[in-house]
């Protein structure tokens, strides 16, 4: 009987330790994704950690303000499932769109369980493959769960654009409202300092622009 107990004790000692006891990384330090976009005028970073914390930092380079949100276990699982549904394996070289010293550049780092870590570099106005665009939609959906970042500017409550309005975008560039799309769901804007035409859905205006600089006269 003693021999059997001795062998059982030895077997238990040889079994692998649970992940937590074996020095598995703290979920609070594991980054599932990190989107970092910036230009000389501003920076915006969105990070999802393994414990479900969403961190958003934005503002002038070196002066970013931060906000946090906590996902429920179901929300975290849902986000990881949406990310895992996209096949990014065929994406190699991304096409380039509008470039320039003041055009925002982004880096997306993605690390999903069971898959090699990937990183993608692109410009704000590049035309991206559909799977990557859907991944960025997940990122933005989670960023929307973070309340107002401390000190963050925002458009007036209930803002409705008018032709002639001048708006400041998240990267600090100024745009003027020119007109609306035929279905009235989109807004056409023209860069005040950069010769750039921009189309933004009305529903996305508050995400793209942070301040009403000048209101057009009726």
CATH code for the domain of 78? 3.30.1560.10
Q: Which residue has the tokens 């594991």?
A: 30
Do residue 48 and residue 88 come from a single domain? Answer: yes
β-bridge pairing 65-70 and 53-59: antiparallel
Residues 183 and 120 in one domain: no
pLDDT, averaged per 10 consecutive residues of the chain (218 residues), comes to 46 45 69 91 90 88 82 94 90 68 84 91 86 93 78 76 90 88 93 86 86 82
**Same domain? 101 vs 52:** yes
Boundary residue ending a domain (80, 110, 143): 143
Does 33 share its domain with 137?
A: yes
Question: pTM score, two decimals?
Answer: 0.60
Full DSSP string of 26-41? PGGG-EEEEEEEEETT
Shared domain for 85 and 188, answered yes or no, is no
Decide if 121 is inside a domain.
yes
Assess whether 193 and 97 both reside in one domain.
no
State how many domains the chain has: 2
């Amino acid at each position: 009987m003693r021999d059997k107990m001795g062998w059982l004790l030895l077997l238990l000692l040889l079994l692998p330790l649970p992940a937590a006891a074996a020095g598995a990384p703290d979920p609070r330090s594991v980054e599932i994704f990190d989107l970092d976009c910036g230009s000389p005028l501003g920076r915006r970073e969105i990070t999802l950690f393994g414990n479900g914390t969403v961190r958003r930092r934005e503002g002038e380079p070196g002066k970013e303000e931060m906000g946090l949100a906590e996902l429920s276990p179901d929300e975290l699982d849902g986000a990881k499932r949406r990310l895992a549904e996209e096949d990014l394996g065929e994406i190699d070289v991304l096409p380039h769109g509008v470039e320039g010293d003041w055009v925002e550049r982004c880096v997306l780092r993605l690390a999903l369980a069971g898959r090699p870590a990937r990183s993608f570099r692109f410009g704000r106005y590049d035309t991206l493959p559909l799977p990557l665009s859907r991944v960025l939609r997940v990122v933005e959906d989670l960023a929307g769960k973070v309340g107002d970042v401390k000190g963050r500017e925002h458009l007036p409550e209930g803002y409705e654009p008018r032709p002639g309005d001048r708006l400041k975008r998240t990267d600090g560039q100024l745009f003027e409202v020119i007109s609306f799309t035929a279905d009235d769901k989109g807004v056409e804007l023209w860069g005040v300092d950069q010769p750039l035409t921009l189309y933004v859905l009305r529903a996305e205006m508050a995400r793209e622009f942070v301040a009403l600089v000048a209101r057009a006269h009726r």
